[in-house]
């Protein structure tokens, strides 16, 4: 089913995508044919021959190589282009998912972008205020990789240092099972609730996300002002 942009394929949450060239192609946002992405994919998967092994290496390279930073949320489409994300040192869930999906394609692994709404109990006082008091995170992003004949979800958002700082279980990926956020933290406190799945796309559906964010969040959520602290240094909301 075409959606928003020409040739973009949308798969509703009750279905799974049909693997094909669209999930290996270089696109507006998943620009996997760019030299920086090709080089990153080669270097991150060095020594691995199997697609599963390559996917696992890419997952950890993205999870821990880019600091999770929700204060970096912006609505400039250029900030969602994989090669631009690669050149940064931080990002929130959607850019990190885009980077993983594009790098996977660069390594010859079919990949899509998945979006779900979550209630996020891992937030800080400053981020909650910036988001207008909301803990409902619309369009949490993750990569969906086609490995050994099945689609597997992989959320590389929270880097290991952040998990240790906030006492949450890091998301681990073996290339065979979904790697999504854990429901409870290390002290059995509610951590993350997936409340709505939106489906999967063959490219990042920027127009949809941009419109939905503008309708749901106050402008301060994606403002250019300096928050005055790193997310991991803030006061957690419990």
Parallel, antiparallel, or unpaired for β 67-68 and 90-91? parallel
Q: Does the residue 237 lie in any domain? A: no
Reported as half-sphere exposure (CB side, CA atoms, 13 A), residue 234 has a value of 21
Mean of all residue pLDDT scores within the chain: 91
pLDDT in tens, 118-147: 987 678 888 999 999 998 999 999 999 999
How do the residues of the chain divide into helix, strand and coil, expressed in percent and rounded to 5? 35, 25, 40
Instruction: Answer yes or no: is 53 within a domain.
Output: yes
Identify the domain containing residue 37 by its residue range.
2-115+138-182+199-207
Q: Tokens standing for 21?
A: 């060239």
In a domain, 212, yes or no: no
48 within a domain of the structure (yes/no)? yes
- The total of structural domains in the chain comes to 1
Identify which has the larger pLDDT, 116 or 167: 116
* Residue 171 domain-assigned (yes or no): yes
The mean per-residue pLDDT over the stretch 141-169 comes to: 94
On whether the pTM is more than 0.95, the answer is: no
Q: Give me the mean pLDDT over the 4-30 stretch.
A: 91
Q: Does 38 fall in a domain?
A: yes
Q: Which domain CATH number covers 78?
A: 3.10.620.30
From CA 110, how far away is CA 147, in angstroms rounded? 8
């Amino acid at each position: 089913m075409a959606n928003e942009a020409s040739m973009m394929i949308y798969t509703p949450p009750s279905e799974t995508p049909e693997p094909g060239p669209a999930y290996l192609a270089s696109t507006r946002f998943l620009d996997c044919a760019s030299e920086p992405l090709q080089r990153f994919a080669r270097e991150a998967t060095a020594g691995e021959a199997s697609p599963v092994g390559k996917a696992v290496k890419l997952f950890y390279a993205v999870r821990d190589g880019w600091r999770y930073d929700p204060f970096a949320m912006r609505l400039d489409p250029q900030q969602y282009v994989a090669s631009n994300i690669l050149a940064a040192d931080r990002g929130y869930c959607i850019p990190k998912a885009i980077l993983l999906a594009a790098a996977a394609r660069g390594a010859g692994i079919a990949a899509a972008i998945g979006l779900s709404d979550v209630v996020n109990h891992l937030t800080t006082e400053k981020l909650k205020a910036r988001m207008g008091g909301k803990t409902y995170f619309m369009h949490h992003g993750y990569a969906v990789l086609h490995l050994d004949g099945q689609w597997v979800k992989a959320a590389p958002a929270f880097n290991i240092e952040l998990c240790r700082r906030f006492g949450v279980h890091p998301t681990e990926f073996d290339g065979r099972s979904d790697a999504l956020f854990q429901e409870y933290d290390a002290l059995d406190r509610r951590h993350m609730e997936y409340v709505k799945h939106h489906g999967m796309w063959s490219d990042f559906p920027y127009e949809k996300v941009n419109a939905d964010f503008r309708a749901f969040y106050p402008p301060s959520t994606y403002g250019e002002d300096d928050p005055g602290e790193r997310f991991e240094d803030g006061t957690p909301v419990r």
